Structure 1
């Protein structure tokens, strides 16, 4: 395989690097990850220059074989690191350093549906920062709030957002009281975003009916569906389904939702994403092989070609002439990533294989 100008090309060019004894695979395309949060603010309020955190995050992506990483940033009523102020800080920081990073880092805006008064601000952020992927979330604890009861873990959530717990509770009740306004507002915003060419998704679809609602609004990616019925509804309509790789690695959802392994076996999954743990996509692919669920090419496609298609990125995800030279080198026995090339440039290099590149 030859590389020139950041692409895979025919013929022989440049210096030969012998990688016999290793696996050479397409780079991982991570369609949704929020493991970057600790890089942006390792302690609450301790780091003001998030651009340095973006650089550190890109290094971690490369070390885990991720050549395209989508940073899924909340735009939420939760405040703190998930509030609009911090989101805009992250977006600006990523855009400032993205051209200099060793891997392709992109942005996703995760909009809480009940943040009605900030819809215009979210749309403005999409325009200002060139965000091409927006996902709608609804994390309000409706069961408790509809009964006027305090949700669990309210105090900790309030303090994370820099709020007094009582003020936070009143805010949640106010948001819940406006639930009837959400469908019309979300539909109108979604229509405007679709008209701008923004890719839309919904997060945590509860069931088939919810998937149908978001489909009607133009949100055609189903991220982390909570049930088989929701995933099946999306898959049956030819809509991309994204599940968390950590879910598959640990064998179950940490929230008690549908098992990613079960959904892969049901043929309902197009992509496995890092979610909160960047090492998990590669590990999940090998786990599928170990369990005999599928062969290595099919398993690896769930973290490379599949996610690339979800994002509409037709120039990557496979080792094929004319595509981006995004590839990783893996040890046969340990399956450890020892080298990562993004657009033909070395983004990560470790261990004995380094001698083959620099000799």
Structure 2
């Protein structure tokens, strides 16, 4: 091998491909794409990765951390442009090279969510690319609240305007993630009066729509998304029946199934099963859901999402769970890329997009450099 002025060589680290873990390997990229992955080191690389890992960039299909940048504390609202930029920096520093911002199309003022805010944020995410200062590939995940007709209309328009992923959500008291009043109060950490008012709003909204209408709205969204090759996820599948219904209307992904049994059923139906990386890092669910680590051991988890903590994706890769490093990488790179229909990335292979991260494993995994389409977008100090 020889250096080429138009090529960049990263050598000396542990290179992880979809099929191999290569010690002292070399990854070469040029013009935004990977040119070669070699099983031997280069004497004079552009980047010496000795002692580090060379991995494909992480792909996050569900991250709602943008909300924490918009509303860092109660009563404080950050300008959307600034919040999106800060979120972009945080994801680049976490090794996430393709980010699906999970935006909630629902009206919950106490939770700083509104359909109008979702519309505006969606527009800015669509316009936020490398030309306008973005570091990573920012994409739009529209979370559609099916109990709200205005949300369904807004998401339908969003699909026509160019969304990237849709999830079907039904926030109904006593069901799904809202099973039990204590769970709701803990989730939103709100005073009793606010909690009671929020529950009454949810119950009123739910009482105005029938189960038949919920199904019809879900099918409307799924059919429209399918016509534009946009994948659809069902969120918080609670029962085997609910995941059966999701598969029947053409849903592709079961996102955060609420029991092990439901995850098993989704797997049997050939749905892609997504769970939270924070669940793996924490060692269990925060809201009494299934243990993601155990679900991984049982073969019913395909991909991990950051949920609200971007750093959790990288951390999950270095948590041994009776599986290989290759398998752990697949869940945060190749598999989510395939689920989203992004077959140009998510792997270190010749011809793939040069989304590459260099990771220092000690004392805790941290990003040394992040490349997106061959451009360095983050370097640690």
Deviation at 1:125, TM superposition (A): 2.3
1:213-228 aligned at under 5 Å gives the runs 213-228=245-260
Which consecutive residues of structure 2, in runs of 5 or more, have no partner in the other structure?
A: 1-26, 176-180
Q: Aligned with 1:47: secondary structure?
A: coil
Moved more, 80-89 or 223-232: 80-89
Supply the distance in 2 between the matched residues of 1:179 and 1:152 (Cα, whole angstroms). 23
Deviation at 1:18, TM superposition (A): 2.4
Which consecutive residues of structure 1, in runs of 5 or more, have no partner in the other structure?
A: 144-148, 352-359
Look up the match of 1:110.
Answer: 143
Cα 1:189/1:302, change in 2 over 3 Å: closer
Cα-to-partner distance string for 1:301-352 (whole Å, 9 max, x where unaligned) = 111111111111111111111101011111143322111111111111114x
Supply the distance in 2 between the matched residues of 1:256 and 1:168 (Cα, whole angstroms). 21
**Aligned partners of 2:337 and 2:346 also within 8 Å:** yes
TM-score of the aligned structures, taking structure 2 as reference length? 0.81
TM-score of the aligned structures, taking structure 1 as reference length? 0.86
1:121 aligns with 2:154: yes
1:328 aligns with 2:357: yes
1:300 aligns with 2:326: no
RMSD over aligned CA atoms reads 2.8
Runs (4 or more) in structure 1 with deviation over 3 Å come to: 43-48, 149-154, 156-159, 163-171
Supply the distance in 1 between the matched residues of 2:308 and 2:79 (Cα, whole angstroms). 22
Supply the distance in 2 between the matched residues of 1:150 and 1:344 (Cα, whole angstroms). 48
Cα-to-partner distance string for 1:185-243 (whole Å, 9 max, x where unaligned) = 32233222322322111011112211110111111200011111211112112221111
Supply the distance in 2 between the matched residues of 1:307 and 1:169 (Cα, whole angstroms). 34
Q: Aligned with 2:129: secondary structure?
A: helix
Look up the match of 2:307.
Answer: 275
**Aligned partners of 1:7 and 1:343 also within 8 Å:** yes
Selected match of 2:296 from 264, 277, 280? 264
1:6 aligns with 2:37: no
Supply the distance in 2 between the matched residues of 1:179 and 1:186 (Cα, whole angstroms). 13
Moved more, 198-207 or 94-103: 94-103
Look up the match of 2:81.
Answer: 51
1:94 aligns with 2:125: yes
Deviation at 1:151, TM superposition (A): 9.3
Count of aligned pairs: 339
Cα-to-partner distance string for 1:8-44 (whole Å, 9 max, x where unaligned) = 11499x9732222221111111111111211123245
Deviation at 1:170, TM superposition (A): 4.7
Deviation at 1:248, TM superposition (A): 0.8
Supply the distance in 2 between the matched residues of 1:35 and 1:260 (Cα, whole angstroms). 20
The structure richer in helix per residue is 1
The structure richer in strand per residue is 2
Cα 1:7/1:166, change in 2 over 3 Å: same
Look up the match of 1:187.
Answer: 219
Cα-to-partner distance string for 1:275-300 (whole Å, 9 max, x where unaligned) = 1111101111211x2x4x11111111
Deviation at 1:69, TM superposition (A): 1.0
Deviation at 1:45, TM superposition (A): 5.9
Deviation at 1:265, TM superposition (A): 0.5
Q: Aligned with 2:29: secondary structure?
A: strand
Q: Aligned with 1:269: secondary structure?
A: coil
1:81 aligns with 2:112: yes
Supply the distance in 2 between the matched residues of 1:10 and 1:48 (Cα, whole angstroms). 43
Selected match of 2:69 from 25, 39, 43? 39
Look up the match of 2:348.
Answer: 319
Deviation at 1:167, TM superposition (A): 6.5
Q: Aligned with 1:252: secondary structure?
A: coil
Supply the distance in 1 between the matched residues of 2:48 and 2:280 (Cα, whole angstroms). 34
Look up the match of 1:355.
Answer: none
Supply the distance in 2 between the matched residues of 1:164 and 1:257 (Cα, whole angstroms). 25
Supply the distance in 2 between the matched residues of 1:171 and 1:9 (Cα, whole angstroms). 56
Supply the distance in 2 between the matched residues of 1:127 and 1:107 (Cα, whole angstroms). 13
Supply the distance in 2 between the matched residues of 1:346 and 1:183 (Cα, whole angstroms). 45
